[in-house]
Amino acid sequence: MKLGELIGSDNNSVIELSEDTKDLQVLGLSYDSRTTTTGDMFFCLKGESHDGHDFAARAVKKGATVLVVDRELDLDTPQIVVDDTRATMGDYAETFYHSPSNELITVAVTGTNGNTTTINLLSEIAKAAGEKPETIGTLTGSLTTPEAPDLQRKIRELVGQGTSFLAMEVSSHALSQNRISNMLFDITIFTNLSLDHLDYHGSMESYYRAKSKLFTANHSKLAILNNQNSYGRRLSREIPIPKLDFSLEDIEILDQSLRNSSWLWEGEIIDLNLAGKFNIENALGAAIAANALGFSKQAIKTGLSKINGIPGRFESIAKKDNQPDVIVDYSHTPDGLQKVLTTIKELSNEAIVHVLFGCGGDRDKSKRSEMGRISEEYSSHIYLTSDNPRSENQMNIINDILAGIRDKSSVYVNPDRREAIHQAIKSANAQDVVLIAGKGCEAYQEVEGTFSSFQDIEVAKEALEARG
């Protein structure tokens, strides 16, 4: 694409661009000098620890032919000077890839918990309706919502592969950083909002404001809002776009177990191979969205019944009769942990519950003691260990969690997550339930900046085998 076509009327360059320069072919978009190639437009992004302007010369050396900056640099390379390089990157990325999302049916999901489950439920419904669906989210890449150039390139690739339906998670970080630019979704879904990401947003109000950016006329034709959540009710009052509210009060729950549920919705019995009211809530939101898109009740019913678990989301591990039930879940927030523990107690005939978890390092510290409090209130045995401590001292994180636990005498503490999982499963009786929380299906653990292979599910299977 020619540079002049890409920047359009948004040419704020302090360096006058000649007609020859405007005819310059931009072959790609880059924001990381390590991966910049010949013909790239390089965006100088400011991060928490690095400033992309410091790497502009390196990007030019590797072939970048134009720079997007927030201040003029002492380089001969053509420069587009803008107020916000990250916001501009989102807009240019959408232009460069010719707004590929406009060629699909699109649904965006945001909230604190349940987003991954919801997009996968939507994908199955769309498949049952005859669409060719894809998802973008926590399970599909290193970022829940990719950086704008990566996102737009991915969607363009999906269109080229014949994809007709896209369900994607949109994170609060992505909304704050304009990663979705002006993408207009057919449906947007709000699942819930609870304590998380305050290390980035600073306050719940700021977190809410970031999430609410999705529910504007620029991004959404119709909003589906969970009004059982206080922030969902607030959104319903505040947003200026068409909306539909939903609640568990709209349905009749017929049956529940630790592995599945059934419920009545608009005259249809929905069989769902997922446990817990929180998953029924996710499925209901997906069903209402699909119905609003014109998918048939039969497609919705069939699609929801096809889901046989979401990796690392309330995932039950196969076991022998003399072994405890073991559940692996991604719950890493106070609200998420409480919902999962409550569900286990409700659906397991008040079985003795063992909970194992830690908290991520270099992230929101405010939730740690609250997760400790919840673990004590809703379980009988607590095992505190490492999650992804990153650069933080593992015991400092554990001590932050312990601050929320009144009776610390019976808490098992071991930073070695493998040993802790083995201990929890070894200690539980056959009638008990062991919840391994926090990491879900993550395939790694990060300790002091070093990544090592680690999966809760595989370690749990290993521990069950060792128990015999």
Q: Which domain holds residue 189?
A: 100-306
Q: Is residue 69 in a domain? A: yes
Q: Is residue 89 in a domain? A: no
From the CA atom positions of the chain, what is the Rg in Å? 24
Residues 292 and 255 in one domain: yes
Q: Is residue 51 in a domain? A: yes
Residues 343 and 428 in one domain: yes
Residues 378 and 277 in one domain: no
Using the 8-state DSSP alphabet, how is residue 25 labeled? B
- The pLDDT, as a whole number, for residue 378 is 96
Higher model confidence: residue 40 or residue 19? 40
Residues 243-276: pLDDT tens digits?
Answer: 999 999 999 999 999 889 999 999 999 999 999 9
- The pLDDT, as a whole number, for residue 9 is 61
- The pLDDT, as a whole number, for residue 20 is 80
Q: Is residue 92 in a domain? A: no
pLDDT classification of 22: cutoffs 50, 70, 90: confident
Type and span of the H or E element at 91: helix 85-96
Q: Which residue do the tokens 């039950």 mark?
A: 316
Q: Is residue 94 in a domain? A: no
Given 253, 276, 306, the domain boundary residue is: 306
Give pTM, 2 decimals.
0.90
Q: How far apart are CA 206 and CA 218, in angstroms?
A: 20
Which domain CATH number covers 123?
A: 3.40.1190.10
- The pLDDT, as a whole number, for residue 79 is 93
Q: How far apart are CA 82 and CA 14, in angstroms?
A: 10
> Which long-range contacts link 21-24 to residues 24+ away (Cβ below 8 Å)?
21/78, 24/65, 24/66, 24/78
Token pair listed for 268:
């249809």
pLDDT beyond 70 at 147: yes
Number of CB atoms found within 10 A of residue 76's CB: 8
Q: What angle do CA 308, 310, 313 make, to 5 degrees?
A: 130
pLDDT beyond 90 at 19: no
- The pLDDT, as a whole number, for residue 47 is 84
Residues 329 and 458 in one domain: yes
Given 33, 59, 84, the domain boundary residue is: 84
Average pLDDT over residues 170-175: 96
Given 49, 84, 119, the domain boundary residue is: 84
Average pLDDT over residues 355-383: 96
Report CA dihedral (410, 413, 418, 424) to the nearest 10 degrees. Answer: 10
Q: Is residue 360 in a domain? A: yes
pLDDT classification of 48: cutoffs 50, 70, 90: confident
- The pLDDT, as a whole number, for residue 15 is 58
Token pair listed for 413:
């503490």
Q: Domain total for the chain?
A: 3
Burial state string for 91-101 with b = 16 or more CB within 10 A and e = fewer than 16: bbbbbbbebbb
Residues 206-217: pLDDT tens digits?
Answer: 999 999 999 999
Residues 211 and 77 in one domain: no
Average pLDDT over residues 152-170: 98
Longest dimension (CA), the chain: 77
- The pLDDT, as a whole number, for residue 74 is 95
Output phi, psi for 318, to 5 deg.
Answer: -55, 140
Residues 129 and 266 in one domain: yes
- The pLDDT, as a whole number, for residue 14 is 53
Residues 254 and 108 in one domain: yes
Q: How far apart are CA 21 and CA 25, in angstroms?
A: 9
- The pLDDT, as a whole number, for residue 13 is 57
Which domain CATH number covers 18?
A: 3.40.1390.10
- The pLDDT, as a whole number, for residue 309 is 86
Average pLDDT over residues 232-253: 96
Using the 8-state DSSP alphabet, how is residue 33 labeled? T
Which domain CATH number covers 455?
A: 3.90.190.20
Signed CA dihedral, 427, 429, 430, 435: sign only: negative
Q: Are 219 and 184 in contact (CB under 8 A)?
A: yes
- The pLDDT, as a whole number, for residue 10 is 60
Strand order in 79-81's β-sheet? 28-30, 40-43, 66-69, 79-81
Q: How far apart are CA 109 and CA 188, in angstroms?
A: 6
Q: Is residue 211 in a domain? A: yes
Q: Is residue 421 in a domain? A: yes
Residues 112 and 205 in one domain: yes
Residues 205 and 289 in one domain: yes
Residues 208 and 112 in one domain: yes
Residues 41 and 107 in one domain: no
Tell me what the pLDDT averaged over the chain comes to.
94
Which residues are paired to 262 by β-bridges? 255, 271
Residues 295 and 433 in one domain: no
448 by Cβ neighbours in 10 Å (0-12 / 13-18 / 19+) ranks as exposed
